[in-house]
Amino acid sequence: MFWDEELETISQNKLKELQLKRLRDTIGRVYFNVPFYHKKFKEINIKPDDIKSVDDISKLPFTTRQDILDNYPTGLLAVSRDEMVRVHTSSGTTGKPKAIFFTKNDIDRAADLIARCLVMTGMRKNDVLQNMMTYGLFTGALVMHYGAEKVGILIVPAGPGNTERQILLMKDFKTTALHITPSYALYLAEYIKSKGIDPTKDLYLKRAYLGAEPYSEETRRKIEDIFGIDVYNSYGLSEMNGPGVAFECEYKEGMHTWEDNFVVEVIDPDTGEVLPDGQKGELVFTTLQREGMPLIRYRTRDISRIIPERCPCGRTHRRIERIFGRSDDMFIVKGVNIFPQQIENVLMSIKGVAMNYQIVLESLDNMIVRVEIAKDLFDGNVMHLVNLQNRITEELRKEILVKPKVELLEPGTLPVSEGKAKRVIDNRTL
């Protein structure tokens, strides 16, 4: 089923025409209304009329996270501040946050994209969505909330935490879908298991939508197996509306990027060169319908690739592969570039590994991986533990080309997270 079948299955030629019209409109608005972009374009001698095709977007300058910070709070607005109805921000833990403004039309369009995503995965009016993301300055919970309401879905705005209450709400309101971080989903699975609840018999869940933090395919499968549900990968970022920028369909073979709202590029993160479809690099997005705060060629720092093949679902909007990691999440040990998700891929594929782990960086040459394992493995048989420790160490070495120190821990040893998990502890001194 489609939310807007004509638009979701539009031909590539018509989609390109639509993108070009909206791109030229967007560039014109920022050129004449946003001093930051006017100056940037003048520096490279580019005017709106110079954009003759969507491919000409490569002539335009990038926008970075630092640009948003430098223009905080209202320096990137393309319309009057009085036309804004909402602002979302990043955490701002290291200084001023990124501020992203929305007009009423921006909110409505973001909600439409989420409605499109939910219907694509099988959600209908008789479903119940328990929204376990944080309501507040982050975009995730509210944008999902508005989109689900457009479909007519009953929303339980639970927010994160208070796991006993979450389970009560799931039972009482017969929740069929969760919007949740992967780390909290893993914690919830452990908690439910400890209470003797069988999620496949005692709950009504059919689907879960994971977001807000990277996670591996192995983690997805583990959550699906434990709850007996379908887990859908979603992609979003506050700068591009929040969730709903790209979403998996029923085939789960990449996330459809809604190209009527965004131009997506993949670039070499070092050179800025645009890469062909199929090649892995940094995702770059340009908004096409944002009124309040359009962004041109925003560098996300997320690593992925565009899948060139047509999706069997019939939708023509190109897909991106699940996010491999963030360029700024990467760390270097013994001269090797490592993404945390590579380590999770290995850990979640090994039988006996529980839900929680932590990566501790002690020096440029010293990495510790702390792993919780099943409680019954601490049965006094030391060789079982030694063999498991050796296997984890070897599998990690093969994946990341570095041999870490592996510590096996009983369940409940590491801190648990009911929101975003802090997987990497960096104790290195610069």
How many CB atoms sit inside 10 A of residue 35's CB?
Answer: 11
What are the structural domains, with CATH classification, of the chain? 1-328 (3.40.50.12780), 331-426 (3.30.300.30)
**Alpha helices, DSSP H only, in 121-263?**
140-151, 163-172, 182-194, 199-202, 217-227
Model pTM?
0.84
Mean pLDDT, to the nearest integer, of 205-224? 89
Residues near 305 by Cβ (< 8 Å), separated by ≥ 6? 266, 275, 277, 278, 279, 280, 281, 320, 321
pLDDT, position 408: 93
Q: What is the mean pLDDT of residues 297-312?
A: 95
How far is residue 127's CA from residue 176's CA, in Å, rounded to a whole number? 6
Please give the structure tokens belonging to residue 161: 């935490």
Q: What is the pLDDT of residue 151?
A: 97
Mean pLDDT of 39-58: 96
Q: Which residues pair with 303 in a beta bridge?
A: 282, 325
Task: Report the DSSP beta bridge partners of residue 262.
Answer: 287
Tokens of 319: 């897909």
Per-residue pLDDT at 56 exceeds 70 = yes
Identity of the residue numbered 338? I
What confidence tier does 329 reach under pLDDT thresholds 50, 70, 90?
confident
Of the candidates 265, 244, 269, the residue with the CA atom closest to the CA atom of residue 255: 244
Mean predicted confidence (pLDDT) in 302-319: 96
Summarize pLDDT for 108-152 with one digit per residue, the tens: 999 999 999 999 999 999 999 999 999 988 899 999 999 999 999
Please report the pLDDT score of residue 365 as a whole number: 82
Q: Is residue 92 scored above 90 in pLDDT?
A: no
- As a whole-number percent, the residues of the chain with pLDDT over 70 amount to 97
Q: Count CA atoms within 13 Å of residue 41 on its CB side.
A: 21
How far, in Å, CA of 229 to CA of 221, rounded?
Answer: 10
Q: Which residue has the higher pLDDT, 1 or 302?
A: 302
302 in Cβ contact with 323 (< 8 Å): yes
Name the phi and psi angles at 37, rounded to 5.
Answer: -75, -35
